[in-house]
């Protein structure tokens, strides 16, 4: 009966109308402005610290000269300045200029997005920083060329993806991270009054500042243009092998060497590993397949909401078995539809062969047709859909297998406790080649991503959160992984400077280009430079990954979560549920 009533509510025209008026179905713009300024969100509708970002003034330059004027304006008026793209898809609060004063200014690159110049002769493409990855790739492919590296998610700007070290998966050539395909980079940086308060500089490989600027989190200046190298157009041939997870960590390096674009997904609760066999093939091989990753497809609002509602119920009733059923269904359906690979309209069999542009990166939910008011990206903040954390740890390759062996020990104690990550995408394991960028990977690396439930209220502890915390601490503190700059909870960034052997070179470049620290904020100071956050209320701070617990009050003793040591990594301090409180009843 209740279900019927809910069905009725969901399908009633009134409800649809309501949704239609609050959302044009593509993702919401990150900036919401009124007379008194703007509030600014990440694409998930929340920052790591959950606090809003207020900015008194935003500008939308459309040309490089307008970017220069904006930087000059901020410099002349001594304002803190940060940049954000039209997507705002980074998770840490790096793009927020400051919360404590009105002396802040934000540049949005949303309207600086038209210039794309493909240089077929020199195999290069130059784009304005606000250009979206999809437009860039399509223009390159129209000219018969291919961009080799890109993140799997296409909802990013060229400036944003370079700035955060976005990557796909490859150890071949110079592949892996996009910034290693940079030929040149144009920055707008502050200048003395005599030079008009701001100037435009172009850096190339031979320039000593190039390795600092390649991946610079918007800390050196505003990127206005990037030039990337491209190759003759090619296709890819992809097969997934859903198989046992036995000893996959021993085969992983071999897999990376054998397949140019290989990756592996591990579903620990299901004892499954999924090998992606993925190589380039000549452009004349037949096949017009696409990879429309299932997690990035437009999803019915009804489905997203009910998944979230079910997840919430399982959380509050501590229903691990329920999560395992969902995980089994989810992994099973991914196998059936090959994760979203399509030979044509649908998946009909392996291998799927398609053009590089259609295989490397996807995000069809970004273009949810506006007439279809019933579907969005599943995490759309307007619909009370999925809400999750995303941990991304980058390991020096030789250390990665030890990490997996540790996670395995934890898994073997009770595999069902890992169903919570398998509902999402398990552990996605990818490869990044060594880079010259000071804030990039100085050696060939292995990256793991995993997502897990995030509660709607910060004070609500989560089922098995002790495990995700232990895995997080194992990765970052036991095995020396580095956090992806655009993902993760704040704890992952503790001591990050010490993990980058060339960090001081980056700092020197910043002193040179941004001597007044115009492009720094409380968050860049905290996340990138390791300055201790202003100590506010630290009650429950470990729940949201704002601290590592050392006392029970950092967890949630009133809800039965106490600060305890790790099960496998004894040095870990995690918030664990303990039934002892139940005895009081
Ligand atoms: C669903 C999803 C999937 C993802 N998949 C991947 C993946 O497969 N691989 C991967 O590596 N990452 C992935 N990411 C992370 C993604 O690559 C980053 O979030 C990306 O950098 C965001 O780009 P953006 O244009 O939205 O940048 P923003 O979030 O707008 O900005 C990111 C940072 O760059 C700075 N910045 C932006 N533009 C400029 C500019 N013009 N000049 C100077 N600084 C600038 C900002 O100040 C900020 O510090 C994913 C993210 C999501 C949400
Ligand atoms: C916002 O910035 C512009 C410069 O881009 C400036 O002309 C304008 O006065 C500023 N507005 C406020 C309210 O500070
Ligand atoms: C799948 O992977 C397993 C483990 O590496 C291997 O033994 C098996 O032959 C593979 N199957 C296919 C079809 O490639
Ligand atoms: C593709 O083109 C190459 C020459 O460029 C040729 O040798 C090859 O036979 C062609 N293959 C197919 C499948 O047409």
Cα(76) to centroid(ligand 2), Å: 12
Give phi and psi for 389, each to the nearest 5: -95, 155
CATH code assigned at 84? 3.30.43
Summarised one tens digit per residue, pLDDT across range 158-172 is 999 999 999 999 999
The per-residue pLDDT for 535 is: 58
Contacts of 428 by beta carbon, 8 Å cutoff, 6+ apart: 263, 265, 448, 449, 450
CATH number at residue 421: 3.40.462.10
Residues 272 and 300 in one domain: yes
What pLDDT is attached to residue 37?
Answer: 84
Kindly state the average pLDDT of the residues 428-450: 96
Are residue 480 and residue 520 in the same domain, yes or no? no
Separation of CA 241 and ligand 3 centre (Å) = 6
Q: Which residue has the tokens 């499954």?
A: 272
575 lies in a domain? no
Compute the distance from residue 232 Cα to the ligand 4 centre, in Å. Answer: 15
| Residue 457 per-residue DSSP state | S
557-571: average pLDDT: 96
Residue 563 has pLDDT above 80, yes or no: yes
Give the model's pLDDT for residue 375. 87
Position 351 pLDDT exceeds 90: yes
Residue 465 lies in a domain: yes
Instruction: Determine if ligand 2 sits within 6 Å of the CB of residue 59.
Output: yes
Poorest-confidence range of 37-41, 258-262, 390-394? 37-41
| Same domain assignment for residues 415 and 379 | yes
* Residue-number span of the structural domain to which 211 is assigned: 116-233+503-527
Average pLDDT over residues 77-85: 96
**Percentage above 90 pLDDT, the chain:** 80
pLDDT, residue 534, reads 59
Same domain? For 247 and 367 the reply is yes
Q: Is residue 571 part of a domain?
A: no
For residue 37, the ligand 2 atom closest to its alpha carbon is: 13
How far does residue 243's CA lie from ligand 3's centre (Å)?
7
- Whether the full predicted model's pTM is greater than 0.75, yes or no, is yes
CA of 56 to the centre of ligand 2 (A): 9
Ligand 1 atom nearest to 295, measured from its CA: 1
CA distances from 308 to 319, 381, 449, 458 (A): 14, 12, 21, 16
Mutate to test the pocket of ligand 1, among 261, 486, 493, 518 (most ligand atoms within 8 A of CB): 486
Query: Helix, strand, or coil here: 180?
Result: helix
Q: Is the peptide bond before 351 cis (omega within 30 degrees of 0)?
A: yes
pLDDT at position 373? 73
Query: Considering only CA atoms, which residue is closest to atom 13 of ligand 2?
Result: 57
Q: What is the predicted pLDDT for the residue at 551?
A: 94
DSSP assignment string, 539-558: TTTTTTTSS--SSGGGSBGG
Asked, for residue 80, whether it belongs to a domain, the answer is yes
Does one domain contain both 475 and 517? no
User: Cα(240) to centroid of ligand 3, in Å?
Assistant: 10
Tokens 């490989």 found at: 205
Domain membership of residue 148 (yes or no) is: yes
Is residue 1 predicted with pLDDT exceeding 60?
no
One domain, residues 416 and 291: yes
pLDDT at residue 306 above 50?
A: yes
Which residue has its alpha carbon closest to ligand 3 atom 3?
Answer: 243
Ligand 4 pocket residue status of 9, Cβ below 6 Å: no
Minimum mean pLDDT range among 229-233, 511-515, 520-524: 520-524
Looking at residue 52, its pLDDT comes to: 84
Ligand number nearest to the C-alpha of 232: 4
Mean pLDDT of 299-316: 92
Pocket test for ligand 2, best of 73, 75, 79 (most atoms within 8 A of CB): 73
Spatial separation of the C-alpha atoms in residues 340 and 296, rounded to whole Å: 9
Among protein residues, the one whose CA lies closest to atom 8 of ligand 4: 284
563 lies in some domain: no
Ligand 2 mean position, distance from CA 133 (Å): 30
Nearest CA to ligand 1 atom 2: 153
pLDDT attached to residue 21: 38
Number of domains in the chain: 3
pLDDT at 43: 85
- Quick one: 195 and 256 in the same domain? no
Whether residue 125 is found in the same domain as residue 45 = no
pLDDT band at 3, cuts 50/70/90? very low
Is 173 contained in some domain? yes
Q: What is the pLDDT of residue 25?
A: 72
Q: What share of the chain is helix, strand, coil (3-state, %, to 5)?
A: 35, 25, 40
pLDDT in tens, 210-265: 999 999 999 999 999 999 999 999 999 999 999 999 999 999 999 999 999 999 99
Closest residue to atom 11 of ligand 3, CA basis: 241
Q: What's the CATH code of the domain at 127?
A: 3.30.465.10
Give pLDDT, residue 176: 75
**Banded model confidence at residue 536, pLDDT cuts 50, 70, 90:** low
Residue 405 is predicted with a pLDDT of 97
DSSP, res 442: S
Nearest CA to ligand 2 atom 12: 57
Tell me what the pLDDT averaged over the chain comes to: 91
Asked if the model's pLDDT at residue 15 lies above 90, the reply is: no
Atom index in ligand 3 nearest the CA of residue 277 equals: 14
- Are 369 and 450 in a shared domain? yes
56 and 11 within one domain: yes
Query: In Å, how far are 162, 247, 442 from 483, measured between CA atoms?
Result: 16, 25, 14
Q: Residue 132 forms beta bridges with which residues?
A: 157
CA distance to 460, 495, 549, 576, per residue, from 565 (Å):
20, 21, 10, 9
Residue 18's pLDDT is: 39
Nearest CA to 361 out of 138, 90, 191 is that of 138
Where residue 31 falls among pLDDT bands split at 50, 70, 90?
confident
Task: Among 51, 85, 108, give the residue marking a domain's end.
Answer: 108
Q: H-helix or E-strand containing 522?
A: helix 522-527
The reported pLDDT for the residue numbered 17 is 38
What's the per-residue H, E or C state across 470-518? HHHHHHHHHCCCEECCCCCCHHHHCCHHHHCCCHHHHHHHHHHHCCCCC
Q: Which ligand is nearest to the CA of 95?
A: 1
Tell me the best of 232, 237, 280, 282 to mutate to test the pocket of ligand 4, counting ligand atoms within 8 Å of each CB and taking the most.
282
57 CA distance to ligand 2 middle (Å): 6
Domain boundary among 85, 108, 131: 108
> Nearest residue CA, atom 3 of ligand 2?
59
Task: Give the three-state DSSP class for 276.
Answer: strand
User: From the centroid of its chain, how far is CA 546?
Assistant: 18
pLDDT of the residue at 370: 62
Q: Are residues 120 and 210 in the same domain?
A: yes
Residue 18 forms part of a structural domain? yes
The pLDDT value given to residue 337: 95
In a shared domain, residues 240 and 224? no
């Amino acid at each position: 009966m209740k279900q019927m009533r809910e069905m009725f509510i969901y399908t009633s025209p009134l409800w649809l109308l309501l949704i239609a008026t609050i959302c044009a179905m593509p993702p919401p713009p990150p900036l919401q402005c009124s007379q008194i300024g703007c509030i600014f969100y990440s694409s998930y509708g929340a920052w790591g610290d959950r606090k809003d970002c207020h900015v008194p003034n935003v500008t939308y330059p459309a040309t490089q000269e307008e970017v220069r004027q904006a930087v000059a304006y901020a410099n002349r008026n001594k304002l803190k300045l940060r940049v954000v793209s039209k997507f705002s898809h980074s998770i840490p609060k790096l793009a927020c200029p400051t919360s404590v004063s009105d002396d802040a200014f934000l540049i949005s690159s949303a309207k600086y997005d038209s210039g794309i110049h493909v240089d077929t002769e020199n195999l290069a493409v130059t784009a304005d920083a606000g250009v979206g990855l999809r437009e860039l790739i399509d223009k390159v492919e129209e000219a018969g060329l291919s961009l080799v590296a890109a993140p799997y998610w296409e909802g990013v700007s060229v400036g944003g993806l370079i700035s955060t070290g976005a990557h796909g998966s490859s150890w071949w050539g110079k592949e892996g991270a996009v910034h290693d395909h940079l030929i040149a980079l144009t920055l707008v940086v502050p200048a003395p009054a005599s030079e008009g308060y701001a100037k435009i500089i172009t850096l190339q490989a031979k320039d000593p500042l190039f390795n600092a600027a390649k991946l610079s989190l918007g800390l050196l200046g505003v990127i206005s243009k990037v030039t990337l190298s491209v190759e003759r157009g090619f296709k890819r041939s992809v097969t997934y092998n859903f198989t046992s997870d036995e000893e996959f960590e021993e085969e992983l390096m071999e897999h990376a060497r054998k397949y140019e674009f290989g990756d592996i997904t591990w579903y620990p609760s299901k004892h499954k590993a999924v090998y992606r066999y993925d190589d380039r093939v000549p452009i004349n091989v037949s096949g017009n397949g696409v990879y429309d990753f299932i997690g990035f497809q437009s999803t019915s609002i009804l489905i997203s909401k009910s998944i979230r509602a079910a997840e919430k119920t399982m959380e509050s009733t501590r229903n691990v078995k329920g999560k395992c059923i969902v995980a089994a269904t989810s992994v099973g359906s991914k196998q059936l539809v090959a994760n979203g690979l399509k030979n044509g309209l649908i998946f009909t069999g392996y291998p799927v062969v398609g053009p590089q542009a259609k295989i490397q990166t996807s995000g069809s939910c970004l273009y949810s047709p506006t007439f279809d008011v019933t579907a969005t990206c599943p995490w759309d903040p307007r619909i009370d859909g999925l809400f999750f954390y995303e941990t991304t740890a980058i390991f020096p390759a030789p250390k990665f297998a030890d990490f997996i062996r540790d996670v395995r020990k934890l898994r073997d104690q009770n595999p069902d406790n890992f169903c919570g990550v398998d509902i999402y995408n398990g552990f996605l394991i990818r490869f990044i080649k060594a880079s010259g960028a000071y804030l990039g990977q100085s050696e060939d690396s292995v990256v793991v991503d995993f997502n897990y439930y995030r509660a709607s209220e910060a004070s609500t502890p989560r089922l098995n959160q002790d495990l995700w915390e232990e895995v997080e601490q194992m990765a970052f503190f036991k095995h020396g992984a580095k956090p992806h700059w655009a993902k993760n909870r704040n704890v992952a960034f503790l001591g990050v400077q010490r993990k980058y052997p060339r960090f001081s070179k980056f700092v020197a470049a910043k002193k040179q280009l941004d001597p007044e620290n115009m492009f720094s904020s409380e968050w860049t100071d905290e996340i990138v430079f390791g300055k201790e956050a202003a100590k506010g209320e630290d009650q429950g701070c470990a729940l949201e990954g704002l601290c590592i617990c050392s006392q029970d009050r950092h967890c949630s003793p009133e809800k039965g979560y106490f600060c305890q040591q790790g099960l496998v990594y004894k040095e870990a301090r995690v918030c664990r549920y303990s039934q002892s409180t139940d005895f009081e009843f």
